[in-house]
Amino acid sequence: MSRSSGFLTLVFSSLAHTYSHLFTLLYATIVLVLEREWGMGYDTLFALSIPMSVLFGAAALPAGWMGDKWSASGMMALFFLGVGLCSIATGMADTPLTICLGLAGIGLFAAIYHPVGIPWLVRNAVNRGRALGINGVFGSVGTAAAALVAGFLAQLYGWRAAFILPGAVCLITGVAFLWARQTDRLLDRGEDAVPTPPPGKSDIWRVFWVMSATMLCTGLIFQATAFALPKIFDTRLSDWLNDSMLGIGGMVTIVYTASALSQIVGGELADRYALRSVYAAVQWLQIPVIIIAMMLIHPALVPVAALMVSLNVAGQAAENSLLAKYTPPQWRGRAFGAKFVLTLGVSSLGVAVIPVIYRMTGTLDVLFILLAVAAAGAGVFALLLPRDKAAAAQQTIVPVAAE
């Protein structure tokens, strides 16, 4: 594999990671605009995004299977083109049903990225932790940019532009990806760039069952927080933000931008220390921060929310490294597909419960308790993973340019 192909794999995988989170979160802010323009309740309008959330996770397993059996780069091309077209279609919708269908299409095609793009990157990475950390930053950028992009475009040009313009950018990226693939600047690789010793069969099953539980918890925290944060800021900081959609979007962007660097830190820690220790530590550290966030009705909620999200995403490099380490390369797409069925599909129950909590209580305070319980569950299960004290010392750190 050429050095150029490895670099472009990192570039396109990172862009796709940004898009996968950005497009699935645009509606979390746009729903606040539609609530005012259409005169419908937040819970009713928010429910239109639930099929998108479910498909974003549920379609991950078949997408991973297709990536293993057919072509990872071919599936990535479908990702860019499908997400772009469905976003434009959503921006053209004029009824709740057509918005729901457009969002569902975004969820279906966005589901391709995680089970296909991450294993594709892992196969080409020399330093997995570092590559996953850099890639994770782009995912956080997508999450951070979603609220700002949606708020900015909706406030200046109307809510339709918040879907149509990003959709056009995604389509252009897809065309560039197809060109790079067609000219052999991007290649599908069958073997890992840096082979690792095969794990024992007992460890494979142990890690599978333990991480199924931890990933369900961490995914629930991430999904519920990302979808609920615009409304939490709207209800708790509306006076401070003067009821501005751009202001709310800006605060969400600050939270996820500030948390992005934790992905780099988490990736470096995953390369240098025992994966189990890194993974367990970030789960336990989330609990007190979530409790503090629950009590704040003050601008101080913004930096505390940033710390809360930072701890959640800091463990993702270790999580993905653990999964890659204990999965044979030929099964990796399906393994990551199963992961994201849990983290994005089953954990979408955390998203589904948001309108229920709001309808019953008028606030989202109870959601914080759910998140703290999930973090504690992830911390307990992480301690059951196999010990791996020697792994970090054996890893060689290679400059990023070599990837």
Query: Could you give the domains of the chain?
Result: 3-190+198-394 (1.20.1250.20)
Q: Are the CB atoms for 149 and 22 separated by under 8 Å?
A: yes
Binned at pLDDT 50, 70 and 90, residue 196 comes out as low
- Residue 372's pLDDT is 95
Residues ≥6 apart with Cβ < 8 Å to 196: 325
Residues 216-250: tens digit of each pLDDT? 888 889 888 888 888 888 888 877 877 677 788 78
Tokens representing 367 are 């959601």
Full DSSP string of 106-131: HHHHHTTIIIIIHHHHHHH-SSHHHH
Rounded to whole angstroms, how far apart are CA atoms 98 and 48? Answer: 10
Full DSSP string of 59-77: THHHHHHHHHHT-HHHHHH
Tokens representing 47 are 């429910």
Tokens representing 8 are 């472009």
Residues 5-19: tens digit of each pLDDT? 678 888 999 999 999
Distance of CA 242 to the CA centre of its chain: 30
Output the CA angle 214-271-6, nearest 5 degrees: 100
Average pLDDT in the 161-179 region? 97
- Residue 5's pLDDT is 66
Q: Is the per-residue pLDDT at 330 higher than 80?
A: no
Average pLDDT in the 70-78 region? 92
Cα(first)–Cα(last) distance of the chain, in Å?
10
Rounded to whole angstroms, how far apart are CA atoms 42 and 32? Answer: 7
Task: Classify residue 397 as left (phi > 0), alpha (psi -120 to 50) or beta.
Answer: beta
Full DSSP string of 126-167: SSHHHHHHHHHHHHHHHHHHHHHHHHHHHHHH-TTHHHHHHH
Q: Are the CB atoms for 107 and 56 separated by under 8 Å?
A: yes
Closest CA to 262 of 362, 87, 154, 140: 140
46 membership: H or E segment, kind and range: helix 42-46
Q: Is the per-residue pLDDT at 56 higher than 80?
A: yes
Distance of CA 30 to the CA centre of its chain: 19
- Residue 104's pLDDT is 97
Residues written for the chain: 403
Average pLDDT in the 326-334 region? 74
Residues 294-306: tens digit of each pLDDT? 998 888 999 999 9
Q: Are the CB atoms for 173 and 76 separated by under 8 Å?
A: no
Q: Is the per-residue pLDDT at 276 higher than 80?
A: yes
Q: Is the per-residue pLDDT at 91 higher than 90?
A: yes
Tokens representing 93 are 């919708």
Sign of CA dihedral 57, 62, 67, 68: positive
Average pLDDT in the 113-130 region? 81
Rounded to whole angstroms, how far apart are CA atoms 52 and 377? Answer: 26
Strand, coil or helix: what is 357? helix
- The rounded mean pLDDT for the chain is 84
Give the type of residue at 274.
Answer: A
Rounded to whole angstroms, how far apart are CA atoms 174 and 80? Answer: 5
Q: pLDDT: is 201 or 109 the higher one?
A: 109
